[in-house]
């Protein structure tokens, strides 16, 4: 909470936060029975890739969207 800029540190903190809470979500979904899950992002972000930082630019790191699908 309180991050005012995007950095490797703020990204890592956000991932740690989500990781702490995903177990509760998975457990709740398991209680409902077989569930098809899709995890994805809207875009990637560059952190110095080829000298670029951010996500409002045309770069393969931005175009590569994290995606996963699975049954829970």
Secondary structure in 3-state letters for the chain: CCCCCCCHHHHHHHHHHHHHHHHHHHHHHHHCCCCEEEEECCCCCEEEECCEEECCCCCHHHHCCCEEEEEC
Most confident of 31-35, 39-43, 49-53, 58-62: 31-35
Tell me whether residue 2 is in a domain: no
Statement: the pTM of the whole predicted model exceeds 0.75: no
Residues 25-37 have a mean pLDDT of 93
Tell me whether residue 26 is in a domain: yes
Tell me whether residue 1 is in a domain: no
Tell me whether residue 67 is in a domain: yes
| Domain enclosing residue 14, as ranges | 8-71
Structural domain total, the chain: 1
């Amino acid at each position: 909470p309180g991050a005012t800029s995007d950095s490797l540190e703020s990204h890592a903190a956000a991932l740690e936060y989500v990781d702490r809470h995903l177990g509760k979500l998975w457990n709740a979904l398991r209680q409902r029975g077989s569930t098809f899950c899709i995890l994805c992002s809207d875009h990637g972000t560059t952190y110095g890739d080829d000298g670029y930082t951010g996500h409002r630019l045309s770069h393969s790191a931005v175009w590569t969207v994290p995606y996963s699908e699975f049954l829970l």
